[in-house]
Amino acid sequence: MLITPNRQDLNKIVVINPKGGCGKTTLSTNLAAYFAKRGPIPAVMDCDPQGSSMGWIERRPSSKPPVHGIAAYKRTMQATRSWQLRVPQETTSLIVDSPAALSHDDLREVTRDASSILVPVMPSSIDIHAASRCIADLLLVAKIDRRDRKLAVVANRTRKNTKSLDKLMRFLDSLGIPIIAVLRDSQNFVHAVEDGIGICEMTPYKVKKDIEQLDQIIQWLDGWKERRYRTSDSAMIEQSDNVTMFRKPGIGSN
Ligand SMILES: Nc1ncnc2c1ncn2[C@@H]1O[C@H](COP(=O)(O)OP(=O)(O)OP(=O)(O)O)[C@@H](O)[C@H]1O
Ligand SMILES: [Mg+2]
């Protein structure tokens, strides 16, 4: 079980989607690099036994602003669990990189007290189908209330104007879940992860397009405190209405 502090000034950003390779670590590490550059020091909690985010932190050059790493997937005998998972006091952004498979209990635990939940989705039929199950679990198992506006999708590795991107957008639109950014398929992300950096730390003219796309995610994340207050019209959305449709096979696959 995870224990993360419920601090009023802490934006707990959970990056989640059981579909392997959809871009959780890529997104988590790029957000971490961005927040590190802006300060104060962010923390990345790596819940994935593959330890990809922790590996990224280990590769991070000492010349770059530090990112605090929490290897939540490790069970240490030397320290208490709460000590192992502690978040530095000055940290205001905690990014949780989640594993491919989560039990219902772990899903509830990972998302508890989250202020922002990002679901990276690649726009293929298989990925859209997996994402629909993930979103269903977030709403029905983790009891994330859409009216809280803390849940958003990032379309990842997309090419413009493709049928599958269009399908993903229509599907999410029908659920009232926003796609806050569309990240293109770009080798910049691959190189950044390999080098322990974020695209915001690469030569600016080479990453201009990718930075513009990432900025849209940052902008949405920065609104987390405002999103806490529900708007009266969003309170009209009936949570239970459309949710059961997720359970039906074939959603997002036609
Ligand atoms: N926008 C992108 N453009 C190009 N390559 C990308 C992009 N996003 C992710 N990738 C690449 O796709 C692969 C999978 O990405 P990543 O490791 O972030 O996925 P993941 O969801 O964390 O996977 P896992 O479930 O195994 O932890 C990596 O090689 C990564 O470099
Ligand atoms: Mg990963």
* AA letter at 150: K
Report pTM: 0.89
- Tell me how crowded residue 79 is: count the other CB atoms within 10 A of its CB: 10
Domain boundaries in the chain?
11-247
CA angle 120, 224, 45 (to 5 degrees): 55
Ligand 1 residue neighbourhood (C-beta within 6 Å): 20-26, 48, 50, 52, 100, 156-157, 183, 185-186, 189-190, 193
What is the phi/psi pair of residue 156, to 5°? -120, 150
Which architecture characterizes domain 11-247 according to CATH? 3-Layer(aba) Sandwich (3.40)
pLDDT digits over 172-183, tens only?
A: 888 889 999 999
Residue 149 · residue 227 · CB < 8 Å: yes
By the CB criterion, residues less than 5 angstroms from ion ligand 2 are 24-25, 52
Strand-pair partners of 181: 154
Beta-sheet strands, E only, within 56-178:
68-71, 93-97, 116-121, 151-158
Select from 246, 237, 183 the least CA-distant residue to 215.
183
Cα–Cα distance measured from residue 126 to residue 199, given in angstroms and rounded to the nearest whole number? 28
Structure tokens belonging to residue 89: 């006091």
User: Ligand 1 atom closest to Cα of 26?
Assistant: 18
pLDDT digits over 45-101, tens only?
A: 999 999 999 999 999 999 999 999 999 988 776 667 777 788 999 999 999 999 988
